[in-house]
């Protein structure tokens, strides 16, 4: 499964969005827990692992740092549904979510749990670092 190849097709892009949102519907509000990987609590990189494995049969590494090395870099202006978006939340910490279009991304937020946020809100906009497009063969 190649997200970049399907992103040019409106139908497949819509299918990807439906899959991500369907997954989100099942996980919405699950609390954030550093190191967590279940409905009792999950962190951002584990949530990305779940989304990609459950919906696209793509295995991602466990850590945000390792996930940042996958795929190809994408300009913010070129984001497609399914791209991973990364944020620098402190000098040592990174955060990851998956882009769903219209400037929004799904992620496991430390304050809100699994939620949807805007790339342009004051907090995330100031911390946006980069985006990566994952190809099934990269993971």
DSSP 3-state of 133: strand
Instruction: At 134, give phi and psi (nearest 5°).
Output: -95, 130
- R_g over Cα of the chain: 13
Q: Is 95 a catalytic residue?
A: yes
Residues 132, 48, 31: CA angle, nearest 5 degrees: 135
The question of whether 44 is a catalytic residue gets the answer yes
Catalytic residue of the set 11, 23, 80, 95? 95
Set 11, 23, 80, 107: catalytic member: 107
- Catalogue the active-site residues: 44, 95, 107
């Amino acid at each position: 499964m190649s997200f970049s190849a399907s992103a040019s097709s409106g139908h497949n892009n819509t299918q990807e969005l439906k899959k991500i949102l369907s997954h989100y519907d099942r996980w919405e509000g699950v609390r954030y827990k550093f190191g967590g990987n279940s409905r009792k609590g999950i962190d951002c990189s584990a949530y990305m692992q779940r989304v990609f494995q459950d919906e696209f049969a793509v295995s991602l590494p466990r850590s945000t740092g390792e996930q940042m090395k996958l795929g190809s870099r994408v300009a913010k202006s070129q984001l497609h549904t399914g791209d991973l978006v990364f944020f620098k939340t402190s000098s040592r910490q990174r955060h990851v979510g998956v882009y769903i279009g219209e400037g929004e991304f799904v992620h496991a937020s430390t304050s809100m749990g699994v939620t949807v946020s805007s790339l342009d809100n004051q907090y995330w906009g100031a911390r946006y670092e980069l985006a990566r497009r994952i190809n099934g063969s990269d993971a």
